[in-house]
Chain A
Amino acid sequence: MRLSKKFLSDYLDVSGLSFNELAEKMILIGNEYDSVEKLSSATNCVVGYVEEIKEHPDSDHLHVCQVKINDNEITQIVCGAPNVDKGQKVIVALPGAILPGNFEIKKGVIRGEESNGMICSLGELGIDSKYLSEEDKNGIHALENDAPIGIDAISYLGYDDEVIDFELTSNRSDLLSIIGMAYEVNSIIDSKVEIKEDIISREVEDINDYLSINVNTDKCPLYIARMVKNVVIKESPLFIKNRLIASGIRPINNVVDISNYVMLEYGQPLHFFDYDKLNKVINVRMANNNEKIVTLDQIERALTEEDIVICNDKEAICLAGVMGGLNSEVDNNTVNVAIEAAIFDSFNVRKTSNNILRSEASNRFEKGIDYKRTYMAINRAVYLLEKYADALVIKGQLVHNKIEYKEKIVEVTLDKINSVLGLNLTVEEVISALSKLTLEATYNNDKFTINIPSRRLDLNIKEDIIEEVGRIHGINNIIGKLPTTEAIPGSYEEEYYREKQIRKRLSSLGLTQVKTYTLTNQNNINQFNLNKVDAIILQSPMSEDRKYLRTTLIPSLLEVMNYNIARKNNDIFIYESSNIYYYDSEKNVKTKRLISGLINGVYTTNSWKNEKVIGDFYVLKGIVENILNYLGLTDRYDFVINELPSELHPYQSANIIIDREQVGIIGKVHPKLTKGNVYVFELDLDKILNIKVRNIKNKEINKYPSISKDVAFILDKDVLAGDVIKLIKKTAGRMLTNIGVFDIYTGENIDSNRKSVAFNLVFSDNTKTLTDVEVMNYFDKIIEEVKAKFNAELRDK
């Protein structure tokens, strides 16, 4: 909402008020603004008179003008405008003038001819070309013949106005009008809002002889129609044009401008019909599905049953609250005008305007209209048409009114006000704050009773009044304190807390946390979709790239990797924890919390010592195992090769299993997806955080010595070391306290389809010192078992 100082001063004395200061004060009562500007910032411009004009001797388009700039002075100005002419009153920017854009006018010589200033167009004064007539867009502006020579042209034109562009909150429909703004500004300056009565000088005949209205929908609770005849279509007076321009509306002609002018004043949108296109009737109804109307912008619109339309005897002539129809438009041939002032259902207008067009009118209908203003506005429009369009006013008005207005009375106690605001206001202070807003309040029996005026649609409950009191009294001297409550310990949800600990652990293991978008493209939801879940698609996505809710985090991690590699950030060790969403078989939305990691490149290195650990399957396996051990799942997980997603390397990948349940995957990304050696894991956090784990208990340190034995088996190449380890553990029982692999060998002395795997076994007993004989018993048994079950031989014998 753009607020013009001149427009405002019709209703409130704001002389002597700095608009910059006002804007700052309005912020503190909740009205933010974008800018404070002068309508024209041009300085040192006067009204001049073109006495003489001749062609520039050295140019085919410049004119050399002798311009009278005051009673005593004629000066020479070179002007390039095609429409400059002898006998015109013009706007002259004198040397020293500053035009918008910080353009300074200086004396000069143009192709040999002296030029002492500039004859200006309105555009050069800073008026946006969208507000200008074709003539004004293409040349200088000719003033009225009676403009006094030498006076300040900016004030003569009425451009000495200031405008605050407010960004209002959506509840303050009342501020979408100059009158509403006057009440609001009055709360700061404490003056008085005055609305003058408009007295129509002459009314003739009877509207009932001209028009009837039928409202056949409950979506139009109030419809008022009036009529004027014999309008003279012409340009609006300057003040109307200027105020429209200041308010951001393009002047068109006096009749159209009056409808906009009144809307700006009262916040009530009006619609003017060319009466002769109505066939004496106005019908208001809901549109039929697929009914068509050509709107003022010459576009044919297909309607739905939720659009409200205004019709003549045959067809729709206006899309109610949004835009008029071409078939009833007021144009230069219009003589008789029917005027509509109505209230349409805000939900329906919103729907229609969402589909078709947002306009100044629809914006106001959506936010709500004060029905009292509807009556005032239509009277105002008729008054202005009589005055500025020479209209003959027809007596009477047609009214359809189904509004059941109840006086809004709100009661609130002083205690409640103070306890919410944390202040210690007195009765007088509350009354004073409210009266600044022109809200009448009385105080009886320990409570305030406030009679809410109809213009304040936003005030309904006591909390609204508390807010108004705080807003106007000011709340920034409240002393902050902390809530006094019965002490409650702060806490985290358990799973959330555990996830935080996992994140810390992953960081200490060298992985950097990343954060990527939930929304992704079709390609990404199909990749690594482990359980082939049904992805969720948005109803109206912004782009193909952000259309689906992701079903896995790995593609996002690959994107981060590619982004970094493209920027030469090598060695990528990253992870992310996030939710994924999908439909289950019954189309219910399901959520899963995942944590995924990706590694590629050098894990640790010392380059000059030529030592490095490259991130490979075993590094990532170590990271994952570390996390699982950290969660207390030691000895309960397993890496198992069975069905794997096709995006993983078939021979360098595994499923992660805990207590027989799949909880994730780990492996190398398939070369069809990426060139490098990239390894990823994904763990289902919901699952792993819900596994029952015993709490930590002390374990006595074994004080008896341990005995270490090495053994190397020659095995078929396909035999998995993990399976051998499992068998050894099972055979050895509790005496075996540790087992490791210390060598893998293929080549000389080993069959080409065999390999040697060397194990280190540590035995101990926490009740006594083991003897070698005892250990050898176990050891021999182990050797026999492995030989038998895996077709193994001992390497060293």
Chain B
Amino acid sequence: MVINEQIIKIKEEMISDINLVNDINGVNDIKVKYMGKKGLITDLMKMMGELSPEQKKDFGKSINELKEYFNSNVLIIEERLKEEGINRKLNNEKIDITLPATQIRVGGVHPIVKIVDELEELFVSMGYSVVSGPEVESDLYNFEMLNLPKEHPARDSQDSFYITNDTLLRTQTSAVQVRSMLANQEKKPFKIICPGNTYRRDSDDATHSHQFMQMEGLVVQENVSLADLKGTLEVFVKRFFGEERVIRFRPSFFPFTEPSYEVDVSCFKCGGVGCPLCKNTGWIEILGSGMVHPNVLNACGFDSNKYVGFAFGIGIERVAMLKYGINDIRDFYTNDLRFLSNYDRMEGGNK
């Protein structure tokens, strides 16, 4: 049984070799030593031809066992060594994750534009079209067709920047009301909002700005009431100032609406019990609104006996100041990057 002895000898040697292997090169070496073309096991196989069928069977079995022993043991070592190698590599790649991040520059949207964007999305979702109009406007559209003839005393409250006797920087986005109605002579019902810059001859201070943004809203159709106006403004107020907010209409006067209302929102700071923000009234004035004056409808070709409309004008800076607690309107126009960057994120939501 020379062969069997050889097998035993090889196996002993193999066990010793396997135990000594400690890197991938060693694995390759013993693979060559035992399984290579001239390897010890390969040599054994070559001896098979000299054996009787009976012996062949036994011998084959032994060799297979030996091969299997080798392969399974080497595989285990191989895997262990690979893993050790990866672990070593990973360990070498260890970084300090607390070091400062790479500064990737991202820009932001100006806070009042952010408000405008949000308002637009809200009103577009309610079927409004966003339209724009010129900032250099004719006296005719800015005043006269809005029921504000020359020398009307209400023009006092909005001293204007005139360019010529007939053109001025618009004092209100309401001018777009006229343009929209004139452009809609097929008299289809329509709902528009118009955000934009407006200008008044005010000296700039913490609460006044000679330039500011307004968003006009206008709905004209055959039947629309104050209840529709109220419902629409409630959607806006709740979205911007919280679901618990309520509004009230305070009768007022604007030449282009009749009836006219100032709209107050219940104070979002104190909830309506009274605090310095609402001057202890529980209410904060937020916008002007009303039912479109028949003179305006008629001047724009809409028969006031048939059509009615409501209109509202939202002061964007005012909404932004109230919503965010900004105290100085000039902050919007000096553009301190520290101020602007504060608004470059999503809202927290209502959770």
A residues within 8 Å of B by Cβ? 27-30, 32, 169-172, 346-347, 350-351, 366-367, 419-423, 461, 463-464, 466-467, 470-471, 475-476, 478-483, 485-493, 496, 500, 503-504, 506-519, 536-542, 546, 549, 560, 563-564, 567, 569, 571-575, 578-579, 581, 589, 591, 602-609, 611
Contacts and interface: CB of A to CB of B under 8 A. Distances in A.
A422 B225 contact: yes
Interface centre among A420, A489, A574 (most CB of B within 10 A): A420
A351 B210 CA distance: 24
Contact of A419 (B100, B190, B223, B233): B223
Given A481-B231, A492-B120, A563-B335, A518 B169 contact: yes
A603 B337 CA distance: 15
Given A488-B191, A492-B129, A496-B132, A471 B251 contact: yes
Contacts of A581: 135-136
A27 B333 CA distance: 34
A376 B262 CA distance: 35
A575 B105 CA distance: 14
Contacts of B228: 422, 480-483
Contacts of B260: 467
8 contacts: A476-B249, A480-B228, A482-B126, A519-B161, A536-B163, A539-B162, A579-B135, A608-B99
Given A367-B153, A514-B335, 6 more contacts: A463-B258, A482-B231, A518-B211, A536-B136, A542-B210, A589-B167
Interface in B243-258: 248-253, 255, 258
A479 B336 contact: no
A516 B333 contact: yes
A515 B112 contact: yes
B127 A351 contact: no
A793 B165 CA distance: 68
Q: Chain A interface secondary structure, helix, strand, loop or mixed?
A: mixed
B191 A509 contact: no
Contacts of B156: 170
Contact of B107 (A486, A575, A604): A575
A597 to B, nearest CB: 9
Given A422-B228, A478-B227, A574 B259 contact: no
B134 interface: yes
A679 to B, nearest CB: 14
Contacts of B128: 490
Nearest to A571: B105
A493 B233 contact: no
Interface stretch (B21-29, B34-42, B338-346): B338-346
Which one of B117, B253, B294, B344 has the highest number of Cβ atoms from chain A below 10 Å of its Cβ? Answer: B253
Contact of A491 (B129, B219, B291): B129
Contact of A546 (B129, B210, B226): B210
B75 interface: no
B327 interface: no
Nearest to B122: A490
B162 A563 contact: no
Interface in B70-127: 99-110, 112-113, 117, 120, 123-127
Contacts of A510: 105-107
B106 A516 contact: no
Contact of A493 (B104, B117, B130, B294): B130
Contacts of B131: 493
A518 B125 contact: no
A27 B253 contact: no
Given A422-B230, A542-B203, A508 B135 contact: no
B132 A493 contact: yes
Contacts of A493: 129-132
Contacts of B101: 606
A476 B262 CA distance: 12
A606 B332 contact: no
Given A422-B230, A503-B109, A539-B163, A604 B225 contact: no
A480 B234 contact: yes
A346 B153 CA distance: 9
B130 A512 contact: no
Contacts of B335: 514-516, 560, 563-564, 574
B54 interface: no
B7 to A, nearest CB: 53
A519 B210 contact: yes
Nearest to B209: A517
Q: A549, A571, A603 — which one has the most chain B CB atoms within 10 A of its CB?
A: A549
A32 B232 CA distance: 25
Given A492-B120, A605-B102, A514 B340 contact: yes
Contact of B337 (A28, A170, A351, A512): A512
Closest 9 A/B residue pairs (Cβ): A422-B227, A30-B251, A480-B231, A467-B259, A169-B253, A490-B124, A510-B105, A422-B225, A480-B230
Contact of A470 (B130, B151, B226, B232): B226
A351 B117 CA distance: 42
Contacts of A546: 210
Contact of A515 (B102, B135, B253, B333): B333
B32 interface: no
B308 interface: yes
Contacts of A573: 105, 107
B16 interface: no
B162 A538 contact: yes
B239 interface: no
B189 A486 contact: yes
Contacts of B312: none
A512 B234 contact: no
Contacts of B162: 538-540
B235 interface: yes
Given A488-B189, A546-B210, A569-B337, A605 B103 contact: yes
Contacts of B165: 539
Contacts of B154: 170-171
Interface in B199-239: 199, 201, 203, 210-211, 219, 221, 223-228, 230-235
B219 A509 contact: no
Given A422-B227, A490-B127, A608-B99, A512 B107 contact: yes
A30 B257 CA distance: 14
A515 B110 contact: yes
Contacts of A574: 107, 335, 337
A569 B341 CA distance: 11
A170 B250 CA distance: 16
A606 B109 contact: no
A726 to B, nearest CB: 32
A479 B227 contact: yes
A422 B226 contact: yes
A216 to B, nearest CB: 22
B318 interface: no
Nearest to A611: B102
A321 to B, nearest CB: 14
B258 A461 contact: yes
Given A421-B226, A542-B201, A490 B129 contact: yes
B334 interface: yes
B344 to A, nearest CB: 7
A591 B196 CA distance: 14
Given A475-B226, A488-B189, A564 B337 contact: yes
Contacts of B117: 500
Contacts of B157: 170
A421 B211 CA distance: 34
A485 B128 CA distance: 11
A510 to B, nearest CB: 3
B350 interface: no
B129 A606 contact: no
Contacts of B123: 490
Given A480-B231, A496-B130, A470 B251 contact: yes
A513 B113 contact: yes
A539 B164 contact: yes
A368 to B, nearest CB: 9
Interface centre among A346, A475, A578 (most CB of B within 10 A): A475
Contacts of A366: 153
